[in-house]
Amino acid sequence: MPESISAGIHDLSFATTEFVLPHTALAEHNGAEIDKYHLGLGQRSMSVPAADEDVVTMGAAAAAPIIERHGTAGIRTLVFATESSIDQAKAAGVYVHSLLALPPATRVVELKQACYSATAALQFAIGLIHRDPTQRVLVVASDVSKYALDSPGEATQGAAAVAMLVTANPSIVRIEAQSGLFTTDVMDFWRPNYRDTALVDGQESITAYLQAVQGTWQDYRAQGGRPLEAFSAFCYHQPFTRMAYKAHHHLLDLNGQDAGQATLRQAIEPTTAYNAVIGNSYTASVYLALTALLDQADDRTDQLLGFLSYGSGSVAEFFAGTVVPGYRDHLHTARNRAEVDRRKPITYGRYRALHEQSLPTDGGDHPTPEETTGRFRLAGIRGHKRLYEKG
């Protein structure tokens, strides 16, 4: 790619679920003080999928506004990032490809590494564009985080999808070449094939995350990355929003910088607006943080942003991006806020019933209840085949 051509995020959109469970309802059920969730975790509510919603319906809904705005011409790759996969063989993105009527001349793949894989997808996309700047790549990150009922992780659940159109000469964020990487084998969070809910060692996960912050930053600087003072804000993976504050505090300490509350709030608070009310969306989380930051009133033109993408197990990456002049003209701010506001609050009992439901495995004809008012729905399963339709 000629030096004058950059690559990055040209469009950015997200979708979430039909229902929402306020943390006040969870606290009432658990007999917990609400500050445990509002202050301790930094969470206010969590998105809950309807019976006919999953990673495919959310992913297609997130990408639809991008396709409507830009069309399908030039999109030759769709990368679907998730750790809530619906099939051990077929990529969930193939269903999204069909629902969005993308051209047959498209490669579709699914990437997995806990919450990190959307960043792998973004880097994969940038690599393709460096090879052929005329191409556009659609990246979809979609997940439903699910932990056992009455477990410590229950309050951090959530669900959302983020879609990004990655192109040359992008209109929202230019991604820089330098990248800091870190991988280590640690059992902080995992979900064996035979389980519907994840297993997590909460304290080990926090420790591993902070270790990854240090490792990625050190590698980023070794690769010629910018100094800490060059950044105006930081988009961290947010399994719960307070974790972003912990991570940035650690990064400031590593650099001998002031880690006071005012400094932390300035760098982190604008990125937490959506994650605080949606909950953990795994692969989508760090890009929901970016969306929240850009949807704020402050003008971010030409500002340098830091991104820390962490996936348990663990793989992490630190990279940088610059906000492009005129980016506001390309946002979906009103639609994004409406997507959050349209969710219907449910009782703890209703949430528990949705949590405990599972799709039949006998190969029969099983339609799903029509619950979502979203653009796409899982119509049912017939002969072990998932059937999707437009809402």
Q: Name residue 78's beta-bridge partners.
A: 108, 138
- Which is the catalytic residue, given 83, 110, 154, 339? 83
Cα–Cα separations (whole angstroms), residue 200 to 38, 43, 82, 160, 189: 21, 18, 18, 20, 4
- Which is the catalytic residue, given 10, 23, 97, 237? 237
DSSP string, 321-390: EEEPTTGGGG--HHHHHHHHHTPEE--HHHHHHHHH-----SSSEEEPP----SSEEEEEEETTEEEEEE
**DSSP helix, strand, coil percent of the chain (3-state; round to 5):** 40, 25, 35
DSSP string, 140-197: EEEEEE---TTSTTGGG-EEEEEEEEEEES-SSEEEEEEEEEEE----SEE--TT-SS
Q: Annotated catalytic, 235? A: no
Q: Annotated catalytic, 237? A: yes
Q: Name residue 11's beta-bridge partners.
A: 165
Q: Annotated catalytic, 68? A: no
Return all residues near 341 (Cβ < 8 A) that are at least 6 apart.
Answer: none
Closest CA to 175 of 323, 298, 310: 323
- Which is the catalytic residue, given 53, 115, 154, 235? 115
Q: What pairing do the DSSP bridges indicate for beta strands 233-236 and 304-311?
A: parallel
Q: Kindly report the number of other CB atoms within 10 A of residue 62's CB atom.
A: 27
Residue 298: alpha-carbon gap to chain centroid: 23
> What residues are labeled active site?
83, 115, 237
